[in-house]
Amino acid sequence: MPHYDYQCAACSHVFEAFQKMSDDKLVDCPHCSEPKLERLLGGGGAGFVLKGAGFYQNDYKSSGQDSEPKTHGGDSGPAGGG
């Protein structure tokens, strides 16, 4: 679920809210109760947060000594990197 940053135009209170993308924007400030909230740009919404062990340790990191990603196929180098 994405998070959004909001700032109140009345009291300048800034906070983060976790909402579905389909939810309406918040309007009332939880600090001063004025209907002056503005959603801040760059506060998320389009991104996601990776938590837990993640796919890197489970899928790519070898269980052996080396820390190189496992290759899937015969080519050991980058594509077209001759």
The per-residue pLDDT for range 50-77, each reduced to its tens digit, is 666 655 555 555 555 555 555 555 555 5
- 0.75 exceeded by pTM: no
Kind plus residue range of the DSSP H or E element containing 38: strand 37-39
As given in the structure block, the two tokens for residue 68 are 């190189």
Report the chain's mean pLDDT, rounded to a whole number. Answer: 74
**Integer Cα distance of 23 and 17 in angstroms:** 11
Domain boundaries, the chain: 3-45
Which listed CATH number (1.10.30, 2.40.50, 2.20.28, 1.50.10) goes with 3-45? 2.20.28
> Hey, how many other C-beta atoms are within 10 angstroms of the C-beta on 37?
20
